[in-house]
């Protein structure tokens, strides 16, 4: 049985789903945000959903992505750059630049997750969430 909590794909497999990196990273990022909110008692009840939405929206992701850009390796910067160029449409609540940054962040998190780099994801996420 495949353990989808600990999946690790090869470079070739990941290249084959490059468009899906942001999709994967979106789920990873949202799970991290939900975990962070619960672990830090930042919100309760209805407030949990509102707090999650506030942290996973494109403008907030773009803002927090700026915190980690200097810490990215060359390879991570390349994944971020490729992810930034992926969006074709932009939601109403974000500028094109914000949406590109958010998509780039999600692609990076998807890429790291599928490579099995959980420790690196935690390191970057922690840096993003520092107040």
Alpha-carbon distance of 110 to 121, in angstroms, equals 9
105 has a pLDDT exceeding 90: yes
> Active site includes 26?
yes
pLDDT averaged over every residue in the chain: 90
Do 98 and 35 contact (CB within 8 A), yes or no?
A: no
Pairwise CA distance, residues 111 & 109, whole Å: 5
Q: Which residue has the higher pLDDT, 42 or 5?
A: 5
pTM of the model: 0.91
129: left (phi over 0), alpha (psi -120 to 50) or beta: alpha
The mean per-residue pLDDT over the stretch 37-63 comes to 89
pLDDT above 70 (res 86): no
């Amino acid at each position: 049985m495949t353990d989808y909590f600990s999946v690790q794909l090869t470079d070739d497999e990941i290249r084959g789903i490059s468009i899906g990196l942001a999709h994967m990273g979106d789920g990873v990022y949202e799970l991290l945000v939900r975990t962070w909110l619960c672990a830090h008692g930042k919100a309760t009840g209805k407030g949990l959903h509102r707090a999650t939405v506030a942290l996973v929206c494109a403008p907030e992701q773009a803002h927090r992505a700026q915190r980690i850009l200097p810490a990215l390796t060359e390879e991570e910067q390349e994944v971020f750059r490729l992810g930034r160029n992926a969006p074709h449409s932009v939601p109403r609540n974000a500028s094109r630049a914000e949406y590109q940054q958010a998509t780039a962040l999600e692609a990076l998190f998807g890429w790291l997750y599928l490579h099995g780099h959980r420790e690196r994801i935690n390191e970057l996420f922690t840096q993003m969430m520092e107040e």
